[in-house]
Amino acid sequence: MMRSEPRALQLNEHGQLKHFLTLDGLSHAILTEILDRADSFLSMGEQSVKKVPLLRGKTVVNLFFENSTRTRTTFELAAKRLSADVINLNIETSATSKGESLLDTLKNLEAMQSDMFIVRHSDSGAAHFIAEHCTPNVAIINAGDGRHAHPTQAMLDMLTIRRHKGRFEGLKVAIVGDILHSRVARSQLQALTTLGVSDVRLVGPKTLVPSFFAEMGATICHDLEAGLKDVDVVVMLRLQKERMKGALLPSESEFYRLYGLTEDTLAWAKPDAIVMHPGPINRGVEISSEVADGRQSVILDQVTNGIAVRMAVLSMAMSGQLQSEDGAATGDEK
């Protein structure tokens, strides 16, 4: 059976978002709409009552087959601030660990009238598979799948860049570290190129930054100084040690010596460059504490922006689902 194209699966007949699985194929207009909507939600964090009724009466299920504290927590906060009911499914104690298949689990959750699944899985394509097999009126949000995609992380990074730099056109961005195993890097590259960044550099050793990434519109750099020279944004990635097979690195200390971001190596970037990291941070492996906690770091801003971006995505996907249902009920055709 042929797999659906991501764009066709993610958008309803009106071109609105109904699932959020990948940034591949999504337009500049949709990404900008996510950022604009997230901007409007950011001020809610300063209010005494941090809720809006956009998802009142809806049930959101956090379906995490892979451990994550920050991502799961920010999705939960986002759903609750939209007034949704939230279920956190503990996969380790669920029926899937007793032999029940993924599809059986989904069917049971659908029978409980769930409206949205937020899915994190170690297998690439898992969220896409679920979107193809669940009932049409359930929205699927990808919270990270294997090496494939982490679209909400990329969008919160885009929001952070836009709020600090005010634009995307003309920026120079370096993504440094374990590109090979990073779903974040793939989604960031798609977002940056769609939003108009023409100079994206992927920086790291040859074993972790293969040449085929150049086909995605990036410049490959195996020298840190060349990669950081005059950039506006530095994104440091965590070494994905749990996904590595074989001796891809001589040692963590050698990686830090050649590619670690310190006050000295950051000086190669522009004086007003911002430093980002999707977390969790390995201090002394990818980045020094002085830089991670320094004046150019916007890492904590990324966490704050993550709640607003996830609120934007949840609200847009639910709205797109409702528009699809209305169209189906009235027999509308595009």
Q: Are β-strands 59-64 and 85-90 bridged in parallel, bridged antiparallel, or unpaired?
A: parallel
Nearest to 158 by CA among 31, 285, 256: 31
Task: Give the annotated binding-site residues for carbamoyl phosphate.
Answer: 70-71, 120, 150, 153, 279-280
Q: Which fold has domain 6-149+304-330?
A: Rossmann fold (3.40.50)
Rounded to two decimals, the pTM is 0.91
Alpha-carbon span 117 to 109, nearest angstrom = 9
> Which residues are documented as binding site for L-aspartate?
98, 183, 238
Where are the chain's structural domains? Answer: 6-149+304-330, 151-299
Q: CA dist 88 to 76, 191, 232, Å?
A: 8, 29, 38
Q: Which CATH architecture has domain 151-299?
A: 3-Layer(aba) Sandwich (3.40)
Q: Mind listing the pLDDT tens digit for each residue in 311-325?
A: 999 999 999 888 776
Asked if the model's pLDDT at residue 289 lies above 90, the reply is yes
Annotated binding site: 70-71, 98, 120, 150, 153, 183, 238, 279-280
The answer to whether residues 310 and 86 touch, using CB atoms and an 8 Å cutoff, is no
Could you write out the DSSP letters of every residue in 245-289? -S---S-HHHHHHHH-B-HHHHTTS-TT-EEE--S---BTTTB-H
Q: 151-299: same fold as 6-149+304-330?
A: yes
Whether 232 shows a pLDDT value over 80: the answer reads yes
SS3 of 220, please? strand
CA angle 312, 21, 219 (to 5 degrees): 100
For 107-135, how does the pLDDT look when each residue is reduced to its tens digit (9 = 90+)?
888 888 899 999 998 889 989 999 998 88
